[in-house]
Structure 1
């Protein structure tokens, strides 16, 4: 349950910070290739953060963090191509990937059946 609470908090922070970033960097333009993926990232992570059902929230957060890791990794690499370091995107990508893996492992561990116990 602690991991789920950490995931919910991180999802809310990542969702909100990504949304604020769109305003601070005038990213509401039609030529911004990241606008729609960022908005999807915000919506899915926020949904996972507020879902009351723990199993549904965990599944949504796993998908959301996996998606966020992909979007933010693409962002990091777009900075790298320009010779820059997109540190906020890098921190977000690593955090999202780590939480996606941790939540998936925790979820599958709770769902697995111990063969020795069923004998």
Structure 2
């Protein structure tokens, strides 16, 4: 469950830093194409960080996957303008790694199911 604790802390930090970024960069404009995705990112990660263990794993896995997509798009939008969005890149990489790690850990901790073929049961 150490991975879940790391996920919870990273989700809270990523969520809060994204929310603060919206204020620091006056991003509350209607023409900001990232406003709604950023708010969804903030919400799902913060909620996931606060949920009980079983629900947190699923929510954080989805939330980090979503965050990786939003932040990757942000990185590429900087690149189109010939700029480098280091905070977005760092966030995207962290989110992608944690989404993969949580999904892998969840799959590994699930009990193995044995399938019985119809021919074997007769």
TM-score, normalization by structure 1: 0.94
Deviations, residues 48-98 of structure 1 (Å, cap 9, x unaligned):
1011x2110000000000000000000000000000100000000000000
Task: State the partner residue of 1:33.
Answer: 33
For 2:11 and 2:107, the matched residues in 1 are separated by 20
For 2:16 and 2:111, the matched residues in 1 are separated by 34
3-state SS of paired residue (2:30): coil
Residues 1:99 and 2:90 aligned together: no
Runs of 4+, deviation exceeding 6 Å: none
Task: State the partner residue of 2:49.
Answer: 49
Q: 1:112: Cα distance to partner?
A: 3.9
For 2:113 and 2:33, the matched residues in 1 are separated by 46
Residues 1:84 and 2:60 aligned together: no
For 1:20 and 1:58, the matched residues in 2 are separated by 25
Task: State the partner residue of 1:11.
Answer: 11
Report the structure number with the largest CA radius of gyration: 2
Task: State the partner residue of 2:119.
Answer: none
Task: State the partner residue of 2:63.
Answer: 64
3-state SS of paired residue (1:33): coil
Please give the root-mean-square deviation of Cα atoms over the aligned residues, in Å.
0.9
Aligned residues: 114
